[in-house]
Amino acid sequence: MAPSRSAFAALVRSWRDRLSPVDAGLPVLPGRRVPGLRREELAQLAGLSVDYVLRLEQGRAKNPSAQVVGALARALQLSRIERDQLYRSAALLPPQDGTISVHVPPGIQRLAARLGDVPVGVFTADWTLVWWNSLWSALLGDPAELPAEERNLARAMFGNGAALPPVRPERGEEAFAASIVADLKDAASRYPADAQLDRLVQELRESSDAFGHYWATATPTPHATERKTIRHPEIGDILLDCDVLLVPGADLRMVTYTAAARSRAADKLDLLRVTGGRSVPALP
């Protein structure tokens, strides 16, 4: 028997009620009576509208896409088995082995959510951003405002994706660009059956001479701590240490930006944490 919309709706509601807002990195105010996530919070975490989440939970939304189901699975911090169950309940095939996974394990999400003082973004092997915290949005802009396909770093750098925030790597933009292409080339060698990755590479090779040059010459190099200057529209330039942490067994990259305690950059991060990056007063 084909999966029903009511089965999908029941799973989403059940798993939303199960997830603690603390584990999702959300503030919990005194007097909160809801043990799990509110519908508005799930919508925020998944990058969906509240109305659409409501229609999904009521069984009124037809045929959610694989991107929507994947976003819900990450927001609900599902295990791989649960994620596959959610896909099947939506009459979709779960992600297949041999393709780049966009699944962020619950433990990694809980860890990243607890790093509330640090901007954190989690990228897949092809440098697609699939998870971020509120301080990342305050520092670099809210990725939820972009279509999912435009959250790919390589497409933003070389293709027709959304413009990158003004970030100046200390070792130079060319070295940074070469390292991203080298990572993409390495991913292509490890995931030859990934059609989406193949389309991305072909698109960039056809549209960008620079990408073609780096593709032909770049070799994989380990990511090391690098200082980057980010030009924020409200607080100006902020110099931060950028680290890329590999997640064993998941082929994910956790990118963090940090500053030394009591430094001017740390003060600016504190200001972003309080204001969310909107209409902040200038620091003296």
The CA distance from 134 to 143, in Å, is: 10
Domains of the chain as residue ranges with CATH: 5-89 (1.10.260.40), 106-275 (3.30.450)
Radius of gyration for the chain, computed over Cα atoms and rounded to the nearest angstrom:
20
Average pLDDT for 35-39: 91
**pLDDT at residue 26, rounded to an integer:** 84
Average pLDDT for 213-240: 90
Encode pLDDT of 193-204 as tens digits: 999 999 999 999
Residue 224 token pair: 């090391």
End-to-end CA distance of the chain: 66
Average pLDDT for 91-102: 87
Residue 269 token pair: 């991060």
- Angstrom CA distances, 12 to 3, 76, 90, 104, 204, stand at 14, 8, 11, 17, 36
Whether the model clears a pTM of 0.85, i.e. scores above it, the answer is: no
Concatenated DSSP letters of 38-52: -HHHHHHHHT--HHH
Residue 128 forms beta bridges with which residues? 152
pLDDT at 102 over 90: no
Ramachandran region of residue 59, left (φ > 0), alpha (ψ -120 to 50) or beta? left
The CA distance from 20 to 38, in Å, is: 10
Residue 169 forms beta bridges with which residues? 228
Question: Sign of torsion, CA 34 11 150 221?
Answer: positive
Encode pLDDT of 154-179 as tens digits: 999 998 777 778 889 998 889 999 99
Q: Give counts: helices (H), strands (E), the chain.
A: 12, 6
The CA distance from 37 to 43, in Å, is: 10
Kindly report the number of other CB atoms within 10 A of residue 277's CB atom.
21
Query: What single-letter DSSP state applies at residue 145?
Result: G
On whether the CB atoms of residues 221 and 157 are closer than 8 A, the answer is no
Burial class (CB in 10 A: 0-12, 13-18, 19+), 212: middle
Residue 135 token pair: 């301080």
What is the band of 30 on the pLDDT scale with cuts at 50, 70, 90?
confident
